[in-house]
Structures are given as C-alpha cells and as structure tokens.
Amino acid sequence: MNKKIGGGVQLGTVLALVLMCAFLAFANKNFYSPGNIMGILKQTAFNAFLATGMLLCLITAGIDLSVGANAIFCACLMGALKEAGLTSGILLMIIAILAGAFMGFLNGTLLTRLHLPHPFVSTLGMKNVLWGAALVVTGNKMINKFPETVQFLGRQTIGTFGGGFPVSFLVIIVLYVLMHIFLSRTALGRSIYCAGGNMEATRLSGINTANVLTFCYTMSGIMAALGGILSVGRSGICNGSMATQPYDTDAIAACIIGGASFTGGKGTMIGTMIGALIIAVLRNGFTLLSIDSSVQNIVLGLVIILAVFMDVVRASMEAKRRRLAAVAKH
C-alpha cells in the first residue's frame, strides 16, 4: 500500500514534477540552461519560506492567509526605518523578524485566547491590516538602496555555474532539513501533528494545544519576515502594493500539492519542497512559453483547485480503506 518515498511523499507528486520538467525541456531548450535552473531555485526560495509557516498552520488544521502581506509588511518596515535613518542592516533584519513574529503571535492569540472561530477569519483580516500598514509606513512609495547585509540573502550567489548558486536556496535546504528533523523527531513537532489530528484528544493528553497553535502562527510570522528580507535582496526594493499578490495561495498550493490537508494532521517538509518546486517550474514554464500572465493566473488557480480536489479524494479513499480494514478485523 505504501507508494511513498522518504518522509511520506506521494510518488505521483514527484512524477508530476519530473514530467513537467521533461515536457518543458522538450518544448523549450532554454529550460535546461544553467541560468534558468538557478532562476527557478531563486523563485522557489521565496515561496518555500512562506510555505514552511503555512505548512505548520495547515498541519494544525488551520491556515495563515496573512503570510504574503506579512512578508511585504516586514520588507516595507525595513524600508521605512532605513529612510528614517537606521543604517545597520543587521538591526533592520532583527526588527523585521521580530515584527513578523509578533504579527504571527497576534494571529495565534486571536485564535487561541480570543477564540475566533477559524484562523481563516483572523488571518484574512490580518492580511488586510498588514497590506494597509505596509502602504502607511512607506507612504505609498517604493523604497530602494537597502544596505548590502539586508540584500545578501536574496542576492548573493556562490560559484559561477549558471550565474551562481543562490544563497537563498541554500538557506532553504538547511531550513527544510532542520524543520524536517524538528517535525519528526521532537515532542513539539509531533504535538503539532497530533493537535491537528485530534485537538481534544491531544489537549486531554496533557499537551497545551493553545501554546502549540500559537507557536505555529508565530513561526509562520518569522518565516514570512525571512521571505520579506529575501524579496528585498532579490528585487532591491520594497513596495507596499505587492501585499495583494497571490503569495498566500502559492504557499498553500505548495503544501497541498506536497501532501498536506485542510483537515489537518498531515504534511511534510519534503512534500512541501516538491510542491514549491512544481509551482516555480510551472510559473517559469509559462514565461518560457510566453504565455500571457492573465492565462498564468487562470491555470495556477485551476492547479490549486485540482490539488485541493485531490486532497479530498485522497481523504475519502483513506477513510474507506480504514473502514474496510476495521471491518475485516472484526
């Protein structure tokens, strides 16, 4: 029954990625150029940060719709502080990470202490708050000329192959390995899965589920802030109006394609990485094949719907299998 490779990735997902790459290589010979590959990795890194936080929230059967706006807000906050005269890049990044973490902590607190019904509501509200805040702190202006240290993560490359291997993707690899170990080998990591699988049973087993949830949303905020720092390095600017871009949906899509479920309790870092790569390859392929950006949006929207539909089918098939197995044992 186990068509899974390490960490529980569906074989089909990997196959989809391989087929997409094969198709694009066939359709456009630029696809396999070193420069393009490195470009894909750069694109993947931003989404991979946001998807890490999103995955934690999805595992708890929640969601964080504010990740994209949070990332842009953190970038804009750095821009505003730089304009105000703060020149230390390190300090700017620390402030950004603290701000992102605090926004995530607020999301978690709204959910667990004020008992708002579903994080969908609170994080959707927060998305708008952060979008507005990003515009307010920057006075609706684009800001550039960030310190080199801030731009390091998004801009720096290693070596010369294809213009150099992006540091951002290297950081992502390290982050994903660490998070994988955290989720699978620590008590808090397992608690996140258990809380998502059955909140009440987990609480009654002596685990403070409110704290577990707050942790996940705070982590999501930190990941968003890192994404924000990365975006500044990659584009050289911060721009408050970017907060409405569909970053959240890309992150959700990466997680769901990678095996996470809206009903919680499932999802892996490896799967999410594959999901993020699929999204990036898809977007890259559209560009290579010169497909109009509005059509890109349509196709990506459909891919997300398809991924969710597959999740539903997967869940009902598993439920059926479980039922049959339970009956067979009686």
Contacts with another protein by CB under 8 A lie at 185-187, 190-191, 193-194, 197-198, 200-208, 265-266, 322, 325-327, 329-330
Q: Give the closest residue to 77 by CA, choosing from 66, 92, 87, 89.
A: 92
Query: Among residues 145 and 321, whose Cβ is nearest to another protein?
Result: 321
Query: Among residues 115 and 185, whose Cβ is nearest to another protein?
Result: 185
Cβ at position 318, least distance to another protein in Å: 8
Cβ at position 136, least distance to another protein in Å: 40
Cβ at position 315, least distance to another protein in Å: 10
Query: Among residues 97 and 192, whose Cβ is nearest to another protein?
Result: 192
Cβ at position 43, least distance to another protein in Å: 33
Buried b (16+ CB within 10 A) or exposed e, 139-148: eeeebeebbe
Cα separation, 242 vs 188, in Å, equals 34
Query: Among residues 33 and 205, whose Cβ is nearest to another protein?
Result: 205
Q: How many CA atoms lie within 13 A of 175 on its CB side?
A: 21
CB 243 within 8 A of CB 73: yes
Residue position matching structure tokens 């699929």? 278
Q: Which residues pair with 166 in a beta bridge?
A: 157
CA-to-CA dists, residue 211 to 132, 203, 205, 223, angstroms: 29, 11, 14, 18
Cβ at position 223, least distance to another protein in Å: 20
Query: Among residues 141 and 203, whose Cβ is nearest to another protein?
Result: 203
Q: What are phi and psi of 31, to 5 degrees?
A: -55, -45
Cβ at position 201, least distance to another protein in Å: 5
Report angle CA 82, 86, 88 to the nearest 5 degrees.
105
CB 270 within 8 A of CB 9: yes
Structure tokens at 84: 């105000």
Query: Among residues 147 and 264, whose Cβ is nearest to another protein?
Result: 264
Query: Among residues 114 and 187, whose Cβ is nearest to another protein?
Result: 187
Cβ at position 31, least distance to another protein in Å: 39
**What's the CA dihedral at 41, 47, 52, 57 to 10 degrees?**
-160
Helix 167-185 and helix 148-155, axial crossing angle in degrees, nearest 10:
80
